[in-house]
């Protein structure tokens, strides 16, 4: 057995633990009986511990060193070079992370998810607040163990991949918010001047049928995927051979369509990773930043165009028994671009989505800095929400309880949505420079050129490159807010 064969075998077992972990999470959020919550939390914690122990095991360091000693050439043997590179990065990173706190986070977060679900239903922040306090404390312990120079966010932002600093993230958010606020005010004036458009209501079988057709047409491989219903849409990438996604079926059709194309962006990324990396730590997307760029590319760059609205309308018609009068491609496009600003992040427009992320960032930074108590979150949330979205928050259900992400991700990672927006616009510019036009592909009802470009420049290498490296390789320049700001101004500046 060669050095790379030994490393692959070790990594394959670690990845199998990760796949079990992902399946446990997927089941928890879609099918799990309430009485099984404690058992599932313990199982998820066990898998987290086992993954962390294997990634930090000195044996992995020895196996990586043996492959590195063969000096694999990235041009002649990309897979060997990439697998060793990612394994080395993961191993050295893991040695700086406290296994106990990481495991505890997964256990507490799993239990907190069920509390959040019921608290959202009942609009009862007081029920969830003690669990958020536990999660904040764990986040702070993680940050202290990892170490940081300026802010706990510096440590937390690095928990998934080499990432931006707290200061860099704040600067990018400030640049986006500065652009968004005046554009959104102008857009809302136009929105309020129009009556709401009629929209269809789909039952669950129709949701599944439409999502199946849409996914197949954009390139999703159903032999390696699946769809379920959950309280919050998400994608479960447990390996390139098993990439499932979920939707909510209790939301208006425009929200369902937006969630579907968003989650398909995640899923297409995972299914597009090069087969020569499968079974290793390199065979996943760059979480969460580049991953969100793929979801945001399909949701915004593709999904908010008139050409996509016309295509989605044609795909929907066979599944509608009684279309409402006046419903058509134009109404779908208006809903995507000219719909009202929503207090709900997953149901809002492209512009104010960024303000939703800024709001959460402000709250998380205040919680971590000790300037905000968990029981005071609703007051600050509601004050910021009314300032950003121009409407009062009727209850915590539509406010601080709307998202389960505090039960899934470490604090600071909400910013990946805005970073994803920035990257998506930058990729779009590079794609256009290469002669691939999104609008033309959609008009032809064939997005193969679009998906092919993304597969070559983003999907295939998996986690081989960091966020910063991949952006430069794919676009020719470093991450910048300017392409996204220009995109927003072009789309909404003439409202």
Establish if 159 belongs to a structural domain: no
Whether the Cβ atoms of residue 475 and residue 430 lie closer than 8 Å to each other: yes
Q: Who wins on pLDDT, 299 or 237?
A: 299
In this structure, the strands spanning 243-247 and 225-229 are parallel
Establish if 373 belongs to a structural domain: yes
Evaluate if residue 161 carries a pLDDT over 90. Answer: no
Question: Based on the domain organization, do 327 and 375 belong to the same domain?
Answer: yes
Mean pLDDT of 220-237: 94
Q: Domain count of the chain?
A: 2
323: Cα separation from own chain's centroid: 32
Domain that holds residue 415: 166-492
pLDDT of residue 294: 98
pLDDT tens-digit series, residues 33-45: 989 999 999 999 9
Establish if 156 belongs to a structural domain: no
Evaluate if residue 495 carries a pLDDT over 60. Answer: no
Question: Based on the domain organization, do 95 and 139 belong to the same domain?
Answer: yes
Establish if 157 belongs to a structural domain: no
pLDDT of residue 334: 94
pLDDT of residue 195: 86
pLDDT tens-digit series, residues 447-474: 999 999 999 999 999 999 999 999 999 9
Mean pLDDT of 270-287: 96
**Boundary-marking domain end, from 88, 121, 151:** 151
pLDDT tens-digit series, residues 363-390: 999 999 999 999 999 999 999 999 999 8
pLDDT of residue 494: 64
**Boundary-marking domain end, from 151, 175, 204:** 151
pLDDT of residue 381: 98
pLDDT tens-digit series, residues 167-216: 999 999 999 999 999 999 888 888 888 888 899 999 999 999 999 999 99
**Boundary-marking domain end, from 121, 151, 181:** 151
CATH label of the domain that carries residue 482:
1.10.1370.30
For residues 63 and 289, what is the distance between their CA atoms, to the nearest angstrom?
Answer: 29
Question: Based on the domain organization, do 449 and 336 belong to the same domain?
Answer: yes
Question: Based on the domain organization, do 453 and 422 belong to the same domain?
Answer: yes
Mean pLDDT of 342-357: 93
Establish if 182 belongs to a structural domain: yes
pLDDT tens-digit series, residues 82-111: 999 999 999 999 998 898 999 999 999 999
The Cβ of residue 462 has, within 10 Å, a number of other Cβ atoms equal to 27
Question: Based on the domain organization, do 129 and 204 belong to the same domain?
Answer: no
Q: What is the mean pLDDT of the chain?
A: 95
Question: Based on the domain organization, do 114 and 182 belong to the same domain?
Answer: no
Question: Based on the domain organization, do 208 and 73 belong to the same domain?
Answer: no
Q: Could you give the percent of the chain with pLDDT greater than 70? A: 100
Whether the Cβ atoms of residue 335 and residue 324 lie closer than 8 Å to each other: no
Establish if 161 belongs to a structural domain: no
Question: Based on the domain organization, do 98 and 180 belong to the same domain?
Answer: no
């Amino acid at each position: 057995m060669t050095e790379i064969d030994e490393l692959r075998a070790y990594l394959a077992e670690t990845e199998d633990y990760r796949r079990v972990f992902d399946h446990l999470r997927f089941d928890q959020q879609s099918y799990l009986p309430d009485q099984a919550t404690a058992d599932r939390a313990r199982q998820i914690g066990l898998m987290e511990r086992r993954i962390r122990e294997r990634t930090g095991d000195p044996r992995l360091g020895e196996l990586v060193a043996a492959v590195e000693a063969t000096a694999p050439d990235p041009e002649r043997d990309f897979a060997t070079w990439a697998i060793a590179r990612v394994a080395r990065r993961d191993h050295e990173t893991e040695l700086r992370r406290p296994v106990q706190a990481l495991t505890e986070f997964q256990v507490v977060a799993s239990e907190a998810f069920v509390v959040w679900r019921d608290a959202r239903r009942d609009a009862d922040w007081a029920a969830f607040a003690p669990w958020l306090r536990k999660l904040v404390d764990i986040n702070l312990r993680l940050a202290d163990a990892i170490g940081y120079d300026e802010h706990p966010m510096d440590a937390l932002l690095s928990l998934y991949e080499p990432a931006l600093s707290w200061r860099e993230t704040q600067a990018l958010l400030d640049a986006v918010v500065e652009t968004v606020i005046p554009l959104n005010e102008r857009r809302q004036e136009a929105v309020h001047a129009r009556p709401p458009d009629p929209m269809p209501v789909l039952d669950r079988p129709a949701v599944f049928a439409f999502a199946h057709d849409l996914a197949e047409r954009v390139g999703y491989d159903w032999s390696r995927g699946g769809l379920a219903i959950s309280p919050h849409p998400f994608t479960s990438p447990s390996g390139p051979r098993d990439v499932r996604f979920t939707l909510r079926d209790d939301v208006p059709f425009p929200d369902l369509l937006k969630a579907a194309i968003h989650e398909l962006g995640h899923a297409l990324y995972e299914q597009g990773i090069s087969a020569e990396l499968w079974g290793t730590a390199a065979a996943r997307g760059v979480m969460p930043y580049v991953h969100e760029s793929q979801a945001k590319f399909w949701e915004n760059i593709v999904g908010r165009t008139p050409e996509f609205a016309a295509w989605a309308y044609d795909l929907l018609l066979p599944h509608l028994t009684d279309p409402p009068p006046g419903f058509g491609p134009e109404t779908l496009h208006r809903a995507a671009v000219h719909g009202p600003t929503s207090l709900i992040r997953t149901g809002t427009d492209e512009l104010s989505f960024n303000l939703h992320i800024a709001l959460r960032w402000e709250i998380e930074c205040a919680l971590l800095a000790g300037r905000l108590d968990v029981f005071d979150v609703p007051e600050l949330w509601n004050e910021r929400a009314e300032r950003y979205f121009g409407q009062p928050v009727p209850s915590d259900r539509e406010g601080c309880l709307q998202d389960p992400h505090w039960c899934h991700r470490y604090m600071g990672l909400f910013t990946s949505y805005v970073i994803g927006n920035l990257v998506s616009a930058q990729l779009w510019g590079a794609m256009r420079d290469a002669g691939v036009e999104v609008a033309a592909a959609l008009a032809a009802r064939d997005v193969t050129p679009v998906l092919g470009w993304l597969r070559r420049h983003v999907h295939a290498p998996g986690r081989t490159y960091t966020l910063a490296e991949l952006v430069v390789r794919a676009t020719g320049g470093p991450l910048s807010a300017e392409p996204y700001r220009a995109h927003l101004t072009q789309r909404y500046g003439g409202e």
